[in-house]
Amino acid sequence: MSLKTKFIFKPIGIIHSPYKEPSGTPIQTIYSDNAIATVEIFDEFTEGLDDIEKFSHIYLIYVFDRSHRFELKIKPFLDNKTHGVFTTRAPNRPNPIGLSIVRLINRKKNILTIKEIDIFDKTPLLDIKPFIPFWDNRMKVKTGWLTEKMKKTKKYFSDNRFK
């Protein structure tokens, strides 16, 4: 495989969310209060949802479809200093792929009802994976430049810096 290989992804569904624009959107799922959203899985992929209702949390992997540019150095939320894009969760990335852990409330056929969402309305969904705490949680972690910022700030909602 060469470094110039291109990948083509086909959405498996669409995320329906109360968040229509960057301003006021939570910057992470744990700050979304009690917002309810739905994930509509396209009919041809519905069978892949079998047993998903047995999980409390799932990863949603999606496209930042409204992100049309990227910079390798950015000023992220929670800081006014620039950092490398790969040390942030900013949406403007070389490959505009998003990842969120959300709480699964229920499933009715091809519709998942979820909470703890930080995703815009009508976002294309690429994949779903179950959140497994024994594999996904880590005890000894470093959080880089965010360590001190998280101690001092209460700003948890997006501004308009990533339009």
Using alpha carbons, select from 35, 39, 41, 42 the residue that is nearest to residue 16.
Answer: 39
Instruction: Report if pTM > 0.85.
Output: no
* Least confident segment among 25-29, 109-113, 154-158: 154-158
For 77, how many CA atoms within 13 A lie in the half-sphere containing its CB?
A: 22
For residues 58 and 128, the answer to whether their CB atoms sit within 8 Å is yes
Domain annotation covers residue 94: yes
Domain annotation covers residue 162: no
Residue 82 pLDDT grade (very low, low, confident, very high; cuts 50, 70, 90):
very high
* CATH number assigned to the domain comprising residue 86: 2.40.30.70
Q: Residues 83-130: pLDDT tens digits?
A: 898 877 778 888 999 999 999 999 999 999 999 888 889 999 999 999
Domain annotation covers residue 82: yes
Residue 56 pLDDT grade (very low, low, confident, very high; cuts 50, 70, 90):
very high
Domain annotation covers residue 105: yes
Residue 52 pLDDT grade (very low, low, confident, very high; cuts 50, 70, 90):
very high
Count the domains in the chain: 1
Does position 37 have pLDDT exceeding 70, yes or no? yes
Domain annotation covers residue 123: yes
- Per-residue model confidence (pLDDT) at position 27: 65
% residues pLDDT > 90 (the chain): 44
DSSP string, 31-80: G-TT-EEEEEE-GGGGGGGTTGGG-SEEEEEEE-TT-----SEE--TT-S
- Per-residue model confidence (pLDDT) at position 159: 55
Q: Which domain holds residue 32?
A: 13-132+145-152
